[in-house]
Amino acid sequence: MVENKELSIRIRQLRVDDFDEVVTMQLAAFPLMKPWKKEQWEQCVTTFPEGQIGVMLNDDLVASSSSLLLNFDEFSINHSWSEITGNGTLSTHNPLGDTLYGIEIMVDPEYRNMKLARRLYEARKKLAREMNLKRIVVGGRLPNYHLYADEMDIREYVQNVMDKKIFDPVLTTQLSNGFTLKRIIKDYLPGDKESGGFATFMEWVNLDYQAEGEQQFNTYVRVCAVQYMMRMVNSFEEFAQHCEYFIDVAADYKSDFVLFPEMLTMQLLSFLPNKRPGTAVRQLSAYTTQYVEFFRQMAIKYNTNIIAGSHLQTEEDEELYNISYLFRRDGSFDKQYKLHITPHEKKWWGVKPGDKVEVFDTDCGKIAISICYDVEFPELCRIATSKGAQIIFVPFNTDDRRAYNRVRYCAQARAVENQVYVVLAGAVGNLPQVDNLDIQYAQSAILTPSDVEFHREAIAAEAEPGDETLIYQDLDMNLIKRNKLAGNVRTWFDRRDDLYRIHYFEDGKEQVL
């Protein structure tokens, strides 16, 4: 497995010349089963290239998925793998079919526990939505059944797996990725001794499927805000362990974004030499590389986008900045500098401001980050919204209820006036040995515009104040679009640009909004 190396992960279509790597992976993943023949593989890739998908970790193929299109009503539910795939040649593929049939999915054993199978299932779902297919169907092997065949029949085994009493690497994964068991198929792969020849007939229904004349369904983004407890730590590794716990939990909830609080890495000062505040905080720069690499690997490992709170670091100009990093689940990252520095940050640490409102492209649309004090300046979120941001993430760190209220009320205003979602995550707890960051108060929240379509309090989710916890919520992105166009009020479109405008500077040029 790749260690101590910069990781990059991506999904791509497989090609004919991937044959050798695919067969090598098959032999490692399924040592008791026959691998693809070259002519079968060439037929698959040329017949339905969109359905042959690979996961690349740096330059290595580490997981793959193969599928075809068909009208499933033309086949018996009690089919075999050979029958449904044309003996692996995809001769049964129907370009006009309404069902995506998954014929194989595999992960290199060396790269398991990185949620690569989830990426492949998500890629299949994305393909089904893009092609407007009714569903995905798979015949799932039961590779652990042979371990229990002497003590239970196949029906009991499947029920025990569904009840989480037994783990099966295929069925457990399919259930966790939204597939529903329809029935058990006999003699699906007669030569599959591990499964006893059995397979499960599994189905995922595309809720976005749009038949002619039907209205298209909404799309959702799941966001998670971590209300994180500041505590004394003895090493970077201990800090990382606390963070990974919450990332793991958020990934179990299949969150698309995980937001941590501002000044997250100030915890590290609890084990560093106690110096004057301005000198002490500059010690954090020594951990920037570890911080970046840790969260990059977490985003890849847990298949989620992470806004890793904020980190104070010095740059090439030797000045200190408060920076929030976005780590995408494909391994790339970007950063937003805090633009408005509080009097406290200036006095004690000498923090300098950034000079640009960034808007980031992600696999769930455009987002922006407004760090704590920045959300109290309405122009910044207005600029971000004008650039296409639909979700504003606000990592914050406040010491008492009054300071928190400034952030909370302004964040709610930004959601209303720009008709966007705003997600807040703050810290709780205390750092008694860190000067000028003694106590924290937070009530993290996920906020919406205030209109009929949303909760009457304009709060999608809210944490209990003071508790270490996390909150998560599905955000309907189509609802935001409709609210801007046809809400009871249209605060975005009804601005009086004949009366007032925002003038700002970006990349050396004056912009007018």
Q: How far apart are CA 300 and CA 330, in angstroms?
A: 6
**Residues 81, 200: contact at Cβ < 8 Å?**
no
Is residue 335 among the annotated active site residues? no
Per annotation, catalytic residue among 44, 115, 224, 262? 262
Alpha-carbon dihedral angle through residues 14, 19, 24, 28, given to the nearest 10 degrees:
50
DSSP label of 286: G
Q: 183 pairs with which residues across the strands? A: 201
Long-range contacts of the stretch 33-40 (C-beta < 8 A, 24+): 33/189, 33/191, 33/192, 34/191, 36/88, 37/88, 39/89, 40/87, 40/88, 40/89
Q: How far apart are CA 98 and CA 260, in angstroms?
A: 41
Q: How far apart are CA 447 and CA 470, in angstroms?
A: 15
Is residue 262 among the annotated active site residues? yes
In three-state form (DSSP H/G/I as H, E/B as E, the rest C), the secondary structure along 195-233 is CCCCEEEEEEECCCCCCCCCCCCCCEEEEEEEEEEECCC
Per annotation, catalytic residue among 301, 338, 352, 484? 338
313, two tokens: 């670091």
Per annotation, catalytic residue among 44, 224, 243, 372? 372
At 180, give phi and psi (nearest 5°).
Answer: -115, 135
443, two tokens: 């009530």
Enumerate the active-site residues.
262, 338, 372
